[in-house]
Structure 1
């Protein structure tokens, strides 16, 4: 077996380079080593590569935190997994023992955030950002990161389980009332996954705000009832008009920069869920706008025990992942994949190292 492998390595200041790296080995008794079968591009990956960056990461690490694969090696203390198993990876699994986990907030697990290498407080210790991730032929992770999956589901679909799990966390925060009007701000992969989940849970009218005509059309195929181009109209006025002046009662902000507009368009007593992340953005709304409308604003960070739920939805075929994964490319085309994602010419880009 080769001692080196291809890997996409974050070099800092907007640089991602393909190079040979040592093949990972078992380091701890509960480790597993995967042959990576699929690794996705997340919006946070693009933010890391911004100049200046709008999401933190450590230069020198192998990129990619959304990945899945086949086990090729297990540590001596691994009992529930075997060589040959196909697994999905939760890159921020909770420990189950700390105060956050025991009080029902596993996405704030103290172990997940125990990251001495992070110069920016409050960010989880995620592979692909602070230690070597899955944008390579092989990757090492602790065995408790892994969820066994069937041989029937394509790995380029399974790899979407983590972002879907984040979406489910956001949806569970505010719930969905049967027949209510919802707005999804952003038609990227997170926004499109949100549309599918809202539709499954009984939302009535689903309005998607997205500048790309192609993405708006996909959203309509997936269950949205109205698509609005924010580059062509005043978004708040257009949403108000589409809802007969009342405004939506449920809003999912999947961009990271549109909280002001979400508050302005919201109906009285609406719930707003923020799932988009952009650390460079600051809001400018008046707090009285929240008080006068009695709005509820929820942040949704990472997953909250939703990985298994996401995998069940994918493996059952309830979520049309194949419509959201638009490009499956070899790792050698990592720069083209990043370009497609950044330019909005792709939906979900997945590499097969």
Structure 2
């Protein structure tokens, strides 16, 4: 590789290469060029790597992977006023059209013309350089290490999910799934004032970690009916009439079913994890309890700002989630580790 723009490129399912791509040009006077320093690996990156598609998003031509990144501003457009060269930034990797109704009403994450990194046909951030509008780069306070800036993306996902739940002070919250987003949902729920936070997973090590990290209680799922599991969850974790809020960060059908049965009447359920397109759903329990059900997709207005603020204030820590770092040339090894569920969050450095 030369020193132009080394990039980690998915050619097709299970086939990646290192390529030298052109250095991105600033298309607008409001754009900035960022030298990428750290990139985390998301489950969607791994899914594209192993399957070459996620639903209707199919890799039809070579695509640079990665979208959880932080770096240093290297060049700025003529009209950039909020950043300067040398600033350390977290990079929000999805740029909306800014013109459609969804964008105008403040829900730009639902923009039908969103250009999202590492989602076909758009290249991702696992390269030396990446260009973004200045308002999609968030300056990191000196107290936040650049490595932690790479976790602002999954933290912003957790912020958006948790905001959807409208958690009130003293609320009881159950989070299904103790992967990175589930763990971060526990941490954000705590920062938002939840008094009881239960982490649920089938992996004993993950739920044990969750309780050390941000959860007040842990619950290991077993092979039983959703109704039985919900009853045991309520009893063991002393949830009284049921949980105020349940967040699913697993996407597993049985977790979704159990969640509906474990909520109190009038409780709130938020779907954060993605699984099968269609599932069997306990609609009678939903109706008779008059539950509030919400979806959650990526992040929207002020979610990145809030994520950075939570890190800067110390209300949320991501240091504990970083279980490894690899060099850019070992990027594929990092993908293999994530696929095998080794560690929680692995960062790829550089390329230098």
CA shift, 1:27, in A, is 4.0
Distance change in 2, residues 1:180/1:79 (3 Å): closer
Q: Unaligned 5+ residue runs, structure 2?
A: none
CA shift, 1:264, in A, is 2.7
C-alpha distance in 1, partners of 2:24/2:290? 52
From 180, 184, 193, the equivalent of 1:193 is 184
From 234, 255, 269, the equivalent of 2:250 is 255
From 217, 220, 236, the equivalent of 1:229 is 220
C-alpha distance in 1, partners of 2:152/2:307? 5
> Who is 1:120 aligned against?
none
Q: Unaligned 5+ residue runs, structure 1?
A: 115-123
For residues 61-119 of structure 1, give each alpha carbon's deviation from its aligned partner in whole angstroms, at most 9, with x where no partner exists.
1111111211112233434322212221112245655422332323223xxx32xxxxx
SS, match of residue 4 in structure 1:
coil
Give the TM-score of the pair, scaled to structure 1.
0.87
For the Cα contact (< 8 Å) 1:158–1:314, is it kept in 2?
no
SS, match of residue 64 in structure 2:
coil
Is 1:126 the counterpart of 2:116 in the alignment?
yes
> Who is 1:85 aligned against?
87
Is 1:174 the counterpart of 2:170 in the alignment?
no
C-alpha distance in 2, partners of 1:331/1:99? 40
For the Cα contact (< 8 Å) 2:154–2:181, is it kept in 1?
yes
For residues 287-310 of structure 1, give each alpha carbon's deviation from its aligned partner in whole angstroms, at most 9, with x where no partner exists.
222111111111111212211111
For the Cα contact (< 8 Å) 2:211–2:217, is it kept in 1?
yes
> Who is 1:158 aligned against?
149
CA shift, 1:144, in A, is 3.0
From 293, 296, 307, the equivalent of 2:292 is 296
From 305, 317, 322, the equivalent of 1:320 is 317
C-alpha distance in 2, partners of 1:97/1:159? 29
Distance change in 2, residues 1:238/1:11 (3 Å): farther
From 68, 76, 85, the equivalent of 1:66 is 68
Alignment length (residue pairs): 340
Distance change in 2, residues 1:341/1:8 (3 Å): same
Distance change in 2, residues 1:212/1:284 (3 Å): same
C-alpha distance in 2, partners of 1:36/1:270? 42
**1:86-105 equivalences in 2 (<5 Å):** 86-94=88-96, 97-105=99-107
C-alpha distance in 1, partners of 2:211/2:224? 19
> Who is 1:335 aligned against?
332
C-alpha distance in 1, partners of 2:90/2:131? 13
C-alpha distance in 2, partners of 1:18/1:48? 16
From 128, 138, 146, the equivalent of 2:137 is 146
For the Cα contact (< 8 Å) 1:44–1:277, is it kept in 2?
no
From 283, 286, 295, the equivalent of 1:287 is 283
Is 1:239 the counterpart of 2:233 in the alignment?
yes
For residues 104-145 of structure 1, give each alpha carbon's deviation from its aligned partner in whole angstroms, at most 9, with x where no partner exists.
323223xxx32xxxxxxxxx4201223222111222223332
C-alpha distance in 2, partners of 1:53/1:165? 24
Distance change in 2, residues 1:242/1:86 (3 Å): same
For residues 181-202 of structure 1, give each alpha carbon's deviation from its aligned partner in whole angstroms, at most 9, with x where no partner exists.
2110000110111111111222
Distance change in 2, residues 1:239/1:69 (3 Å): same
> Who is 1:268 aligned against?
265
For the Cα contact (< 8 Å) 2:96–2:115, is it kept in 1?
no
C-alpha distance in 1, partners of 2:317/2:87? 24
